[in-house]
Amino acid sequence: MTVFEQVRPGLFSGRLEVEDTCFTVIVGQEGAMVVDTGSHPHVGTNLRHDISQTFEVPLTHVVLTHGHWDHSFGTPAFSDLQFLAHENYPLDVQCLENQAQAQVHNLSLDTLPTPTALISSIKFVDLGDQPVEIAYLGQAHSRSDLVLGLPKQQGFIVGDLVDCSPPQCDETSSLHGWVQVLDVLYTWMKPDTLLLPGHGRILDVGDLTHFRSGLAALWDQTQWAHNQGIPVGEIYDHSDLQWPWDRETAKKAITVAYQELTASLL
């Protein structure tokens, strides 16, 4: 049975046991919205069943914070709803990790439902005295990251843009863009603003500042090394550089940032 934790009135969150991915349910007077659907169709099916048993208003919308598999593979269970995602979602859903996980779970990416509306920049949804402001701030953790603002609850749903764990990077990421996106998000924060992430506990402005500082250190030091002509494979062990987080996280981020820097020169 899914556990729904009331974060603030009209705002509920929980964790899905498979992959420990978080979901959010926003409840208005006329309808409800679920944000992220889990890592497998059966996870989404169970989540939808438990939502229907818990809340009196109908579920009307599903929104994906981004296209990575652990947030999106449960979406077939919600295919009859208004499905909102960023316009780069169709691109991100075909990323290498998604392809690998689809094989592991014996799924076809072609069976995932198509969004009923693709968001390019901003979208407003009213669930009945419950406004939801959805915005794309740029490529960051992925090419399809969405931030959902909840003015009544003074909170933001941020997917994997902010985390209490090390950042995860792949070919859909932009380290430079990620830092810039968090700078924008910081300007919206107040001392009591909550951040609902894609994994782990609920976060605050202090967590955002800490996470942003680590990403900036990864980007700035890789940029310096790139400008010095240091080969990517030698950057992590360079004696003049110190890295946040663990070796595997840092080396993956260095590779992504180095490729980004090299592409900017072409």
DSSP secondary structure string for all residues of 45-64: HHHHHHHHHH-SSPEEEEE-
266 lies in a domain?
no
- Average the pLDDT over 209-221 and give the result: 98
234 lies in a domain?
no
Three-state DSSP state, 16: strand
247 lies in a domain?
no
186 lies in a domain?
yes
| Assigned token pair, 132 | 């939801």
pTM reported for the whole predicted model: 0.97
pLDDT of residue 183: 98
Confidence of residue 19 (pLDDT cuts 50, 70, 90): confident
Three-state DSSP state, 33: strand
Closest CA to 172 of 256, 261, 108: 256
Closest CA to 141 of 84, 66, 244, 192: 66
For 137-146, how does the pLDDT look when each residue is reduced to its tens digit (9 = 90+)?
999 999 999 9
CATH code of 142's domain: 3.60.15.10
Q: Which domain holds residue 67?
A: 5-206
- Average the pLDDT over 42-68 and give the result: 97
pLDDT of residue 20: 83
CA distance 117 to 131: 18
Confidence of residue 152 (pLDDT cuts 50, 70, 90): very high
For 155-203, how does the pLDDT look when each residue is reduced to its tens digit (9 = 90+)?
999 999 999 999 999 999 999 999 999 999 999 999 999 999 999 999 9
244 lies in a domain?
no
For 80-128, how does the pLDDT look when each residue is reduced to its tens digit (9 = 90+)?
999 999 999 999 999 999 999 999 999 999 999 999 999 999 999 999 9
CA distance 14 to 7: 10
Give the alpha-carbon dihedral of 153, 155, 159, 164, to 10 degrees.
-120
Return the residue matching tokens 């859909």: 172
pLDDT of residue 140: 98
pLDDT of residue 103: 96
Residue 1 has pLDDT above 90, yes or no: no
Q: What share of the chain is helix, strand, coil (3-state, %, to 5)?
A: 35, 20, 40
Domain count, the chain: 1
14 lies in a domain?
yes
261 lies in a domain?
no
CA distance 200 to 247: 21
197 lies in a domain?
yes
Give the H or E element holding residue 159.
strand 155-159
